[in-house]
Amino acid sequence: MDAQISSIEPHTEALLNQQLKRFNKKEFIEKDPISIPHAFSQQQDVEIAAFFAALFAWGNRTTIIQKCNDLMQRMDRAPHAFVVGHQPKDLKKLIDFKHRTFNATDLLHLVRFLHHHYSSNASLETAFTRGMKKSDETVEGALIHFHRYCFSLEDSPPRSRKHISTPESGSSCKRLNMFLRWMVRRDKAGIDFGIWKGIRSNQLVCPLDIHVQRMAFQLGLITVQKSDWKTAVALTERLKVLDDRDPVKYDIALFSMGANPV
């Protein structure tokens, strides 16, 4: 850890731990997009449901959950079986799907990509871990690799690139970092799944959504109000002062504090 990273005020540490204890409970799941993958038990179904839930996670949470459930219904509530075994006629059910700027072109490409990946891989984890080493400080390499891999298929639509962020463009990669948090970290609360073992919890980068960014700035954990990769990494490094093995657990506290102001 960088020796120049300053300590965190005791009252800030106490507040974060208090809020983590308050919100890091099973009850968090029901009203959050993470409820979508929690409806499944097979790992591949969890991965695919979580991937789309994270991808759609901008805007009103109720709408996000509705759109995710809509997509799962169109996939016959068996997303892995749909991705690997669909026939051309089955794709007609996806043609009119839309969530904000995400449309059928984007969805059909990602279904094609997931079909390609799962045809020779048992888990979506390898789509990320092939881009990083065990010694890497963060998942930066994994996210860069995933973006390149996702659009390596012939005729990948250029418009869909905006929905899969990459640190190469300076993006904070909020939604993909949230997806990785769900897949990698695990604790007794059971919100996150912890089903991937090739990435360590201390390699994760904190998802920098608007609530997290605002609270982190107010608490002095970051010094700039920017939503970019550099700021997301800087926040994560500050949180390592509190827990160098699982810093991203504080995402739950920061988000909940920002989304549920007293």
Residue 123 DSSP SS3 = coil
- pLDDT over 70 (residue 262): no
Residue-wise pLDDT for 6-16, tens only, equals 789 999 999 99
Weakest-pLDDT range from 6-10, 107-111, 250-254? 6-10
- pLDDT over 50 (residue 2): no
- pLDDT over 50 (residue 34): yes
CA distance 127 to 182: 16
Give the model's pLDDT for residue 59.
85
Compute CA distances 18 → 102, 198, 239, 254, whole Å: 37, 30, 15, 11
Pair 71, 97: CB distance under 8 Å: yes
Other CB atoms within a 10 A radius of the CB of residue 8 amount to: 17
Give the model's pLDDT for residue 163.
97
CA distance 208 to 213: 6
Residues linked to residue 102 through DSSP beta bridges, in sequence order: 99
What is the percent of the chain where pLDDT is above 90?
94
Mean local confidence (pLDDT), 42-69: 96
Instruction: Write b or e for each residue in 84-98: b if 16 or more Cβ atoms lie within 10 A of its Cβ, otherwise e.
Output: eebeeeebeebeebe
Q: What are phi and psi of 228, to 5 degrees?
A: -140, 175
Residue 133 corresponds to which tokens in the numbers above? 């080493």
- pLDDT over 60 (residue 92): yes
Residue 4 corresponds to which tokens in the numbers above? 């120049």
Mean of the per-residue pLDDT values for the chain? 95
Give the model's pLDDT for residue 1.
42
Q: Where are the domains of the chain?
A: 10-259
- When pLDDT is cut at 50, 70 and 90, the band that residue 68 belongs to is very high
Give the model's pLDDT for residue 4.
46
SS3 of the chain: helix, strand, coil, percent, to 5: 55, 0, 40
- When pLDDT is cut at 50, 70 and 90, the band that residue 5 belongs to is low
- When pLDDT is cut at 50, 70 and 90, the band that residue 138 belongs to is very high
Weakest-pLDDT range from 56-65, 133-142, 159-168? 56-65
